[in-house]
Chains A and B, each alone.
Chain A
Amino acid sequence: MSTLTKQTLSHLDWLEAEAIHIMREVAGQCANPVLLFSGGKDSICMLRLAEKAFRPGRFPFPLMHIDTGHNYKEVTDFRDKRAAELGERLIVRSVEDSMARGTVVLKSADESRNKHQSVTLLEAIEEFGFDACIGGARRDEEKARAKERIMSFRDEFGQWDPKNQRPELWNLYNARSHKGENIRAFPISNWTELDVWQYIAREQLELPSIYFAHVRPVVRKNGLMQPVTDVTPAKPGDKVEDVLVRFRTVGDITCTAPVESDADTVEKILAETATTTITERGATRMDDQTSEASMEQRKKEGYF
């Protein structure tokens, strides 16, 4: 038990090999999968993994983004550019279209559209007949994800029932589904935020600019920094400050907060990530703070 003789993979090589294996299983088992690509760092890693899994062939799935209409332009521009560079098909479906159809009804005009992405996603799954959605969610992100399967089963309503998940043994994945049902596949389940940044550094992956330190007007509220944007303007009495920040996660503007940082390179971000004292979602997600169980609740309702 004390010697290390047999050659084994480094942790990043192992994680990469596992993710490639999972993507190929989805492609081998499912008739019509799709890869969800937002332009965020996790999904950027997913595209590199898909290249390693399937080149010189085309990806055996299109890319898709569910756009709330409240995303940073830097990120959606990057999304379009990256898909074009890869020569892969990008489908964009918009929460605003669901609102126009009346399938998404906001409680108020300024309610966050983030949780309503589930509706648009389910509509897109139905429109294209996708039997599997490959996503970049990680188990370390949130408690409710720690027990998530790599191949997660969703019923006809897109619902995740934590008590009705398939046992997953060895690396024998079961991605079978009946018509109308859906598999959510998570190839980087076993990655942490630090692994993602290490992979970005190693693979020299390009990222949207807002991941790096930049000056941005913000309002400090409840321990978070809320960015001041067209979508989230300052309210009367708010104290707007220009702060050097970067985003640790990018998503809907109304629920993603930046962190104070002067890290303007991947190397500096890596150093910060290795020594940070706050979790990724704790520092940045306004939607997860409402209740300890809020992610679990959203997932049961079909959230990715």
Chain B
Amino acid sequence: MSAPEQLPEIDNGLLRFLTCGSVDDGKSTLIGRLLFDTKTILADTMNAIEKTSAKRGMTAVDLSLLTDGLQAEREQGITIDVAYRYFTTGRRKYIIADAPGHEQYTRNMVTAASTANLAIILIDARKGVLTQTRRHSYLASLVGIPHLLVAVNKMDLVDYDEATFERIKADYLAFAGQLGIKDVRFIPISALAGDMIVDRGERLPWYAGPTLLEILEAAPAAHTEQAEDFRFPVQFVCRPHDSANPELHDYRGFMGRVESGEIAIGDAVTVLPSGASSKVKAISLGSDQLERAIHEQSVTLLLEDEIDISRGDMIVKTVEAPSAIKQIDATVCWLSETPMSPARTYLVRHTTREAKAKIAKIDYRLDVNTLEQQPVTSLAMNDIARITLKLAQPIVADPYRANRATGAFIIIDESTNNTVGAGMIG
């Protein structure tokens, strides 16, 4: 091992992003390049891919092999699922969700996008904006990814031509407007040659903007910069009943994660769906007592009053209480190989609550390439559709556009327990 050098000082949190594109766009090469140029790839891994590259008769190391996944996929020569990769720059930790881009993998892209705050949309500079570019952009926008970065790749194959880049940018902006995508940036890159990824390189002097990594380093980590309402789904109730410690006799800690907004000691809260009200007495994280808790923190709340609260309830600020609903209009993505059966009862899991659900109606299926609305009576894997669900018990929800955590749900098939659908309310 080498001598100790300075430790990485990570102060800029964590960014989760998604890469969209097919193998032909150089997506794997881009990820490989990011991992390689940030020195995430260690010697033994590098040796392994050098050997494989040589075995396959390549003259240079194929960085795309770094993201090659399971044996089953290698045999088929395709990637069939979402893989997660990690790297750190010293300033920030990154989680890449790597989803294959082919049409039949809509569900993989929706899955990968659900936890991402930024999407890199890859375009082959020789091919320009394609149907799949539109599809990826639409899905990213549907799942509410706030920041899109369009990377025009393979600039080395078009002689690093500025006019080509500008033309693709104009083409993209023309349809992005129709989709309502607001925050979109463009960058010319060559993942293969390493231009404008981590290092600027010398071959794109006409591009004055930041490198791809600089854009990632500066992107907001929060899903939204807007202030959000406080939402605290209760996961677990702590009642220690420790006979050796009488102080804990009346202890009732409500454990969960602040899904949005923030909460401070003294805030007036309401418990839904019961509607009981109280005030926050204490907020704890392990042995630390906190004055306030922010978005994404897992904490324990203690309330002033003894209220009956259990898993599945939601604690909200009294002034920002959402309503409980028993019917939801939603956009869903069908995930299962078994088609949706409109006559069946499914289970909806929303925050920490489950409710039985029936399909009240399917409005239409959306063609993700043309955005055309098509009438259907059932949904197959990878379909995106507008539906209405009737629930046996109420859920406390917000529109997905306003709140990703309380606007999302999954659909479970109770006979197999599989997750068969993903939905966004509103």
* A and B interact: yes
Q: Which residues of A contact B (CB under 8 A)?
A: 1-18, 20-21, 24-25, 27-28, 51-58, 60, 139-140, 143-144, 146-147, 153, 162-163, 165-172, 174, 176-178, 189-190, 192, 194-195, 259-261, 263, 268, 270-272, 274-279, 282-283, 292-293, 296-297
A16 touches B298 (CB 8 A): yes
Closest B residue to A191 by CB, please name it.
B86
B236 touches A24 (CB 8 A): yes
B13 touches A10 (CB 8 A): yes
Closest B residue to A178 by CB, please name it.
B417
Number of interface residues of B (CB under 8 A): 89
Interchain CB contact (< 8 A) of B42 among A58, A190, A195, A279: A279
A146 touches B85 (CB 8 A): yes
A17-B204 Cα distance, complex, nearest whole Å: 41
A172 touches B408 (CB 8 A): yes
Within 8 A of A (CB), among B135-161: 147
Q: Which residues of B contact A (CB under 8 A)?
A: 1-8, 10-14, 42-45, 48, 68-72, 74, 80-86, 88, 92-93, 95, 107-108, 110-111, 114-115, 147, 183, 185, 215, 218-222, 224-225, 235-236, 238-240, 242, 245, 248, 251, 253, 255-257, 285-287, 294-298, 311, 335, 349-352, 404-405, 408-410, 412, 417-419, 422
Interchain CB contact (< 8 A) of B68 among A10, A27, A143: A143
Most buried by B among A11, A58, A260, A282: A11
Most buried by B among A16, A140, A163, A271: A271
B72 touches A162 (CB 8 A): yes
B183 touches A1 (CB 8 A): yes
A249-B221 Cα distance, complex, nearest whole Å: 32
Give min CB distance, B295 to chain A, whole Å: 7
Interchain CB contact (< 8 A) of B419 among A58, A166, A177: A166
* B residues in contact with A171, CB < 8 Å: 115, 257, 405
Give min CB distance, B266 to chain A, whole Å: 19
A8 touches B295 (CB 8 A): yes
Give min CB distance, A156 to chain B, whole Å: 13
Known: A1-B219, A15-B14, A177-B417. A6 touches B111 (CB 8 A): no
A153-B418 Cα distance, complex, nearest whole Å: 10
A10 touches B42 (CB 8 A): no
A194 touches B88 (CB 8 A): yes
Interchain CB contact (< 8 A) of B418 among A4, A163, A166: A166
Q: Can you name 16 extra interface pairs (CB under 8 A) apart from A163-B72, A272-B4?
A: A1-B147, A1-B215, A1-B219, A18-B296, A51-B286, A54-B236, A56-B251, A57-B238, A139-B84, A144-B69, A147-B69, A163-B80, A167-B108, A174-B410, A174-B412, A282-B42
